[in-house]
Amino acid sequence: SQIPVITIDGPTASGKGTVAHRVADRLKFHYLDSGALYRLTALSAIQHATPLNDEHALAKLAEHLPVKFENGEIFLNNKNVSNAIRAEEVGTLASKIASLPALRQALFALQLGFRKGPGLVADGRDMGTVIFPNAQLKVFLTASAEARAQRRYKQLIDKGFSASMEDLLCDLKARDDRDTHRAIAPLVPAEGAHILDTSNMTADEAVEQVLKWYAHPK
């Protein structure tokens, strides 16, 4: 497909969500938060009390997610779960079930469907490596673990969750480890990806850099 795609992959709390969203706004492109799909599946598994070792049942949940994206809000079974899926326990569960091949396969077609004109900005772990390997621009966004823990802390507090820096740093490192070392679709920069370390950058500076790369391909 010739519909343009920009992929923004990176570790948890690297700022890719914010950056991807703003880049999409600037270009008037659609936006795919692929992590939300894993979080929605996790939330759905909690609601259905689906055992974590039942790969088949989890894949079924993923395949038939009653999800709706509307005005930047996310609905599961017509219930607004935009905040609920950001809870730390949901993210941790999401990263655990994300290692299941059948579940990733179930979400594959759903993700391809987001590629619509005039274009798409997709963020996640494997957007450039697996889902949109023919993307026009691939970015790997990263930042130090400390910078990311700080951002996650602020995000959670702003959403009214309680949080401890120490727990967050520990959880974040565990999640990095799982995402980087899993057998299927591990978190690695895609071939030809631009690497952007945002430890000492504002989100807007990162946005400008991505837009520059998009306007002037290498």
Residue 11 assigned ligand-binding role: yes
Nearer to ligand C5P, 91 or 210 (CB): 91
- Please say which residue, 42 or 201, places its beta carbon nearer to ligand C5P: 42
Task: Could you list the beta-strand ranges (E) of the chain.
Answer: 5-9, 30-33, 67-70, 73-76, 79-80, 120-124, 137-142, 194-197
Residues near ligand C5P (CB under 6 A): 12, 34-35, 38-39, 91, 94-95, 98, 124-126, 175, 179
CB of 53 to ligand C5P, least distance (A): 17
Phi-psi region of 37 (alpha: psi -120 to 50; beta: other; left: phi over 0): alpha
What does the buried/exposed string (b/e) look like for 179-213 if buried means 16 or more CB atoms within 10 Å of the residue's CB?
A: beebeebebebbeebbebebeebebeebbebbbeb
99 is in an annotated binding site: no
Supply the minimum distance, in Å, between the C-beta of residue 62 and ligand C5P: 12
CB of 126 to ligand C5P, least distance (A): 5
Nearest residue (CB) to ligand C5P, 131 versus 207:
131
Residues of each annotated binding site for ATP:
10-18
